[in-house]
Amino acid sequence: MNENIILSSRVRLARNVDGVPFKGINSASIATRALNALREQGSYMMHSINSLTGLEQTRLVERHLISKELIDCQGSAIIRDDNKVSVMVGEEDHIREQCILPGLHLREAYAELREIDRAIGKEFKFAFNPSFGYLTSCLTNIGTGMRASVMMFLPALALTDSIGRCIGGITRLNMAVRGVYGEGSKAEGYVYQISNQKTLGISENDIVASVENVATHMVESELKAREALMQVDPEGLRDKILRSYGIICNCYTMSKSEFMELIAFVKLGVYYNILSCSDHAALEKIITDVQPASLCLGQGRRLDVGERDKVRASICAKIQQIVCRIGG
Amino acid sequence: MICQRCKQREATGYMEKTINGLKTRIYVCPDCFKQAQLEMFSSFGDVGLFSGLNVHGGGIKCSKCGTTLREISDTCFVGCQNCYTELSEHLKPILRNIQSAAMHIGSGPNSESVDEVAELEAQLKKAVAEENYELALKLQERIRQSKGGAR
């Protein structure tokens, strides 16, 4: 049942090349060397941000393969074919390696990233100091340079107004809670990102364990809240879920924010066995496909908001092929 | 909930302030939280907590990139890796404030892999159980080194 709550796990390592200033680097030359170092690690593709169109850049952000900051810095990205590993070059730090896996798999993501880090570390001497660990541009990343995060779908905690209290508790444990696209972003569709804040004076394994603990605790809280939500107003909740399902499959235009709200209730309906889903991966793909840049690229051209909302509604109609109503 | 500071973005956490002995919670977004931390940090400088560090006059700066200690404490960003070597002693109190630590204990570029460390830890447990303390000490040292070496 965790899959319905923990959407994905991500581990990121920040690295800088020894002796090279933090700012104003030639990202293309570092990226080319990093790409060569990864040749034996799988099939990778290098993208220079300024060679991509605006839509292509945004699609990479929507898929969590690069950060918005990389676009501002006009850096480069090296992305593995399965979209699980990416390396950003020329962002706040010279090199940022990340591995993203579905579900709660932080340990596996870190183990995989360790190999990527080792391969890149053979090509470059990383800026490292025994006292401060891996040296980073910002003091908030120094030490391990590691950020371990989980993306969590927490609608019941939000709808029962318990999320504020949970966030308060989490921040006291040196964890950060952010929206779906990282710092400063909104928790759209009741999706929250929980990550470690402390990177110094703690080992990588302990960071992974602490984020895992918090995530497991949040899953328990969310499950309790889902139980409470159903107990308080079972008919109202069933009605809200079925209405959401009805609208999402039968409308002419749909904004992104409306979609994110409705799809959350559809997913809740699947959890409560009010709706059944025959293909979870296909449902997740629809959620990715209706994000603005992915939607335009799917149509092969830039669309204005009104056009996007109509195309989104037509894609949403396909949800009735994989999700159906159970019983009365 | 909307951030009570900027009244625009969504609040994702809260800060506690004691005003006239009354503890008050202010719910804030990540941007405002960061800003509030920086303001708090700067205000320490104004009351002279950093006077010993010469943050105010900008006297202390990295000889390579010219970034001053004041700039680092205001922005949390250093200019180059030499800042960490030259300003090391001055950075420690700032790091303690941000990270609640000033010493790395994670892995290093030449550390053994996670699996190898786990294997060493298993061997250590076994050695202790068998009361083979000589081997346990050696294993402990290897684990310490592979986790970064600095304690």
From chain B, pick out residues whose CB is under 8 angstroms from the CB of A128: 108-109
Mean of the pLDDT values across residues A78-101?
95
Which of A191, A225, A259 lies at the terminal end of a domain, its last residue? A225
Q: Is B10 on the interface with A (CB under 8 A)?
A: yes
Question: What residues make up the domain containing A297?
Answer: 234-325
Residues A69 and A201 reside in one and the same domain: yes
From chain B, pick out residues whose CB is under 8 angstroms from the CB of A142: 95, 99, 104
The count of other CB atoms within 10 Å of the CB of residue B22 is: 7
Least confident of A79-83, A240-244, B96-100: B96-100
Nearest C-alpha neighbor of A257 from the set A308, A323, A318, A320: A308
Q: What is the pLDDT of residue B46?
A: 40
Residues A161 and A59 reside in one and the same domain: yes
Range picked from B33-37, B52-56, B139-143 for highest mean pLDDT: B139-143
Answer yes or no: is pLDDT of A181 > 70: no
Which of A199, A225, A251 lies at the terminal end of a domain, its last residue? A225
User: What is the model's pTM?
Assistant: 0.78
Residues A130 and A263 reside in one and the same domain: no
Nearest C-alpha neighbor of A57 from the set A300, A323, A293, A242: A293
Q: What is the pLDDT of residue B51?
A: 38
**Confidence band (pLDDT; 50, 70, 90) for A184?**
low
| Closest in B31, B84, B105 to A201, CB measured | B105
Return residues 102-141 of A near B (CB < 8 Å).
110-111, 114, 118, 121, 125-135, 137-140
Answer yes or no: is pLDDT of A172 > 90: no
Check A205 against B117: CB less than 8 A apart: yes
Least confident of A189-198, A237-246, A282-291, B129-138: B129-138
The one-letter amino acid code at B109 reads: P
**Confidence band (pLDDT; 50, 70, 90) for B102?**
confident
Residues A169 and A100 reside in one and the same domain: yes
Residues A108 and A212 reside in one and the same domain: yes
Residues A185 and A242 reside in one and the same domain: no
Which of A167, A194, A225 lies at the terminal end of a domain, its last residue? A225
Provide the CB-side half-sphere exposure for A273 (13 A, CA). Answer: 3
Rounded to a whole number, what is the distance in Å from the CA of A128 to chain B's nearest CA? 7
Residues A93 and A177 reside in one and the same domain: yes
| Closest in A110, A121, A177 to B109, CB measured | A121
Least confident of A36-50, A233-247, B134-148: B134-148
Nearest C-alpha neighbor of B95 from the set B79, B78, B109: B78
Answer yes or no: is pLDDT of B57 > 60: no
Pairwise pLDDT comparison (A171 vs B14), residue with the higher score: A171
Q: Is B65 on the interface with A (CB under 8 A)?
A: yes
A87: CATH: 3.30.590.10
- Residue A286 CA, distance from chain mean position: 16
Answer yes or no: is pLDDT of B32 > 90: no
Mean of the pLDDT values across residues B63-78?
89
Q: Is B105 on the interface with A (CB under 8 A)?
A: yes
Rounded to a whole number, what is the distance in Å from the CA of A122 to chain B's nearest CA? 9
Return residues 191-210 of A near B (CB < 8 Å).
192, 198-205
| Long-range contacts at A64-72 (CB < 8 A, ≥ 24 apart) | A64/A8, A64/A10, A64/A100, A64/A181, A67/A91, A67/A96, A67/A182, A68/A181, A68/A182
pLDDT tens digits, one per residue of A132-153: 999 999 999 999 999 999 999 9
Answer yes or no: is pLDDT of B147 > 90: no
From chain A, pick out residues whose CB is under 8 angstroms from the CB of B95: 132, 139, 142, 200
Pairwise pLDDT comparison (A245 vs B14), residue with the higher score: A245
Check A164 against B91: CB less than 8 A apart: no
Residues A46 and A130 reside in one and the same domain: yes
Count: domains in chain A: 2
Residues A262 and A212 reside in one and the same domain: no
For residues A73 and A54, give the distance between their C-alpha atoms in angstroms, rounded to a whole number. Answer: 14
